[in-house]
């Protein structure tokens, strides 16, 4: 049976991905009905698809999962990193099957529908991943229509008309809008343990005697705050555009710069001056991902858009000096999600590189010489991913006071 509206569509095609170069990829749609435009990236993690979809750093992006069996363990209320999903949609190889896991509360396709996110299955994700590796992350439109009726010219126009992530400030769209003590937002403030769930705030002994960390939220994952609390901090979360005076009024012992989506230079237009003032005030600083990039910008370095980015839970990072001299050469397996990076060749004399990617040699860590300020490009909080880098939270909180 042919599709009269799209005669070239394979039988049963209810999902489509239209790249800005005119490439059309058909599949079987699931989740929400409609279309969305963004940048197509790929993630190599074998677990944690729910954490990936709810990571604010994926705002403006359509995620291609290289692991073929996505959705097979269903979804639950614990494995989320924000109040709602931020990835626009996902592309997977195999159809979503009935969930098989004792923690499952809802099938993945149903969850995608309720969350307003579009999925396409039946796609050769290996071929799409190779295309991204060779040609870079493309702009595209993902669409789902149960009747398989698509206006390809209109979708192509949307893909070509989208400006792309470079120059785009997305942190303002995903940040929280209130200053508040981190209390887990109903999920518990501490880290998760099998059979116990998330530790509630009272078990974490949150008290005035704890070092006070003010966290600038550029699109933070919840597990970052949980790890700061576990390391011994009291955490107050503030919006991305919080002023220096408002930060200092909270009397922090240190300031955390969170991960987030978009171009660090664009978000840095308002965040970098604040970070520079914090550096001048000798405030201890710790940045992750976007926060790391903007810390580097504040100290005089530059950032660049990457060809394909780093996204997955198996990225090897090597310690190469600085405050990690006692373990120089040690390799951590890390979780990553970024399409921009600090330009390692642009580091001024006041910045020392501390970590590098063993995949491509790109910068993965810095420290500001003469200051108690450092950042890493990867995600030490995992979720999903290995826990090799949890020590960074203890390093930061342990140095406060």
Instruction: State how far the Cα of 164 lies from the Cα of 321, in Å rounded to an integer.
Output: 35
Asked whether the beta carbons of 115 and 88 are under 8 A apart, the reply is no
pLDDT band for 5, please (50, 70, 90 cuts). Answer: low
CA angle 133, 137, 142 (to 5 degrees): 120
Confirm whether 15-161 and 171-398 share one CATH topology. Answer: no
Locate the domains of the chain by residue range: 15-161, 171-398
191 Cβ neighbours under 8 A, 6+ residues apart: 198, 199, 223, 226, 227, 230
Instruction: State how far the Cα of 298 lies from the Cα of 276, in Å rounded to an integer.
Output: 5
CA angle 333, 336, 337 (to 5 degrees): 170
Q: Please, is 97 exposed, middle or buried when counting C-beta atoms within 10 Å of its C-beta (0-12, 13-18, 19+)?
A: middle
Q: How far apart are the first and last CA of the chain?
A: 71
CATH number attached to the domain at 15-161:
3.50.30.20
Check: pTM over 0.85? Answer yes or no: yes
pLDDT of 200 reads 76
pLDDT tens sequence across 256-305: 999 999 999 999 999 999 999 999 999 999 999 999 999 999 999 999 99
Q: Please, is 386 exposed, middle or buried when counting C-beta atoms within 10 Å of its C-beta (0-12, 13-18, 19+)?
A: middle
pLDDT tens sequence across 148-205: 999 999 999 999 999 999 999 999 999 998 899 998 666 667 778 888 888 776 655 5
202 Cβ neighbours under 8 A, 6+ residues apart: none
Residues with a catalytic annotation lie at 289, 379, 381
CATH number attached to the domain at 171-398:
3.40.50.880
């Amino acid at each position: 049976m042919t599709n009269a509206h799209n005669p070239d569509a394979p039988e049963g095609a209810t999902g489509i991905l239209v790249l800005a170069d005119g490439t059309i990829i058909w599949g079987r749609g699931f989740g929400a009905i409609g279309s969305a435009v963004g940048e197509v990236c790929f993630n190599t993690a074998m677990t944690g698809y729910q954490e990936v979809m709810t990571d604010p750093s994926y705002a403006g992006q359509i995620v291609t999962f290289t692991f073929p069996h996505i959705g097979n363990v269903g979804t639950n209320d614990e494995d989320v990193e924000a109040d709602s999903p931020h990835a626009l949609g996902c592309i997977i190889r195999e159809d979503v099957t009935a969930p098989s896991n004792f923690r499952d509360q809802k099938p993945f396709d149903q969850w995608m529908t309720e969350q307003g996110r579009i999925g396409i299955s039946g796609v050769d994700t290996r071929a799409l991943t190779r295309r991204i590796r060779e040609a870079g992350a493309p702009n595209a439109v993902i669409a789902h229509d149960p009747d398989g009726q698509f206006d390809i010219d209109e979708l192509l126009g949307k893909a070509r008309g989208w400006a792309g992530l470079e120059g785009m400030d997305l942190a303002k769209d995903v940040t929280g809008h209130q200053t508040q003590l981190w209390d887990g937002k109903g999920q518990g403030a501490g880290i998760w343990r099998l059979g116990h769930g998330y530790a509630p705030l009272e078990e974490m002994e949150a008290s005035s005697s704890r070092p006070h960390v003010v966290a600038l939220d550029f699109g933070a994952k919840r597990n970052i705050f949980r790890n700061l609390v576990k390391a011994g901090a009291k955490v107050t979360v503030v919006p991305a555009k919080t002023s220096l005076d408002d930060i200092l009024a909270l009397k922090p012992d240190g300031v955390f710069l969170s991960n987030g989506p978009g171009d660090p230079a664009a978000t840095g237009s308002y965040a970098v001056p604040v970070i520079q003032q914090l550096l001048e005030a000798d405030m201890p600083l710790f940045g992750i991902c976007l926060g790391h990039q903007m810390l580097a910008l504040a100290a005089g370095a530059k950032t660049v858009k990457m060809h394909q980015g780093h996204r997955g839970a198996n990225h090897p990072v090597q310690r190469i000096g600085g405050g990690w001299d006692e373990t120089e050469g040690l390799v951590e397996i890390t979780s990553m999600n970024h399409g921009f990076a600090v330009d390692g060749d642009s580091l001024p004399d006041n910045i020392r590189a501390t970590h590098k990617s063993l995949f491509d040699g790109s910068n993965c860590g810095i420290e500001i010489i003469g200051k108690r300020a450092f950042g890493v490009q990867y995600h030490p909080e995992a979720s999903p991913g290995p826990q090799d880098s949890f020590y960074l939270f203890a390093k930061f909180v342990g140095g406060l006071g």
